[in-house]
Amino acid sequence: MRNATRPFGRTLAAMITPFTPSGELDVPGTAALARHLVDEQGCEGLVVNGTTGESPTTTDAEKTQVLETVLEAVGDRAHIIAGASTYDTRHSVRLAQDAEKAGAHGLLLVTPYYNKPTQAGVVAHFTAIADAADLPVMLYDIPPRSVIGIEEETFQRLAEHTRIISVKDATGDLAKAQRVRAATGLAFYCGVDELNLAAYATGQVGIVSVVAHLIGKHLNAMFDAYDDGDTAKASEINDRLLPAVTALMGRGPGVIAVKAGLAGQGVPAGEPRLPLLPADDALAADIATALADLKEA
């Protein structure tokens, strides 16, 4: 059994994909955002081409361009993980191989969605992708989006693969995460921003965060306090972050809110692609207020 170290760092951002006003990929904006996340927000890793990166609406060529752009911008000082899976195993294998050729440091593989495979099919799917590229793998368990989850016995089977080393846990089930972590040694990263501190306190090694785009420095301060044994300070920071986290994650897909929050700060973001719509004025105002209040606190 492996030790659950931090294979991709502690604070990772689930990075959005910036678009131009005409809806095309904003390559300079992508590089600028990557630098902002690493240099200003203190992210040790970036996950590109995931759900928050609007992967369902970007082409394979765009995914490669995003990855190459981020690697060139910050790949020497951050872990760059590429989302590389869909509900089609053969397509996912090609995405993983493309990511490896581009120089990705790891792969994020989500449970097949929509077609609802059996758990045996889930194992076969992940195994085929992990076999196809010589990169460490982070599994992504998110039943609210994929419909099916990864069962505990399935995790135990998958953990036998030498390249499957970690999990982005977006189930919200901290008890299950503890059981799987103890049984497999997989490194768990929290994928539910509302639970970041609770997950960390129960043995998860870090986060793959949407809100890190805007409050990454605060999240690092919270984790530093916890690591230093000052749990009261960590809890106090967590409480102060709650209004911002709620504004960013409580009213629809996080990418919509984050793009609005970044735009309000002059950081490249653009609007999401259909079928997602931009934040309305009320949400944008609430986000701006929550971030301003946090800055003044």
Whether this prediction's pTM lies above 0.85 is answered by yes
62-115 pLDDT tens trace: 999 999 999 999 999 999 999 999 999 999 999 999 999 999 999 999 999 999
* 24 contacts 54 by C-beta, under 8 angstroms: no
CA distances from 61 to 34, 102, 109, 184 (A): 19, 11, 18, 36
Give pLDDT tens digits for 110-146.
999 999 999 999 999 999 999 999 999 999 999 988 8
- What mean pLDDT value characterizes the chain? 96
Q: How far is CA 156 from the centre of its chain?
A: 22
Q: How far apart are CA 148 and CA 114, in angstroms?
A: 9
> Is 89 annotated as a binding-site member?
no
226 is catalytic: no
Identified catalytic residue from 168, 189, 200, 259: 168
Confidence tier at 297 by pLDDT (50, 70, 90): low
Annotation-wise, does 208 bind a ligand? yes
Q: Looking at 113, 140, 200, 226, which residue is catalytic?
A: 140
Q: Residues 201, 202, 208, 212: what is their CA dihedral angle, to the nearest 10 degrees? A: -20
* Residue 2: pLDDT band with limits 50, 70, 90: very low
Of 44, 17, 11, 140, the C-alpha closest to 85 is 140
Known active-site residue 259: no
Per-residue confidence (pLDDT) for residue 1, from 0 to 100:
33
Looking at the predicted structure, is the pLDDT value of residue 4 above 60?
no
- The strand pairing partners of 209, in sequence order, are 13
Which two three-digit tokens encode residue 156? 């135990």
What is the token pair recorded at 48? 């590109």
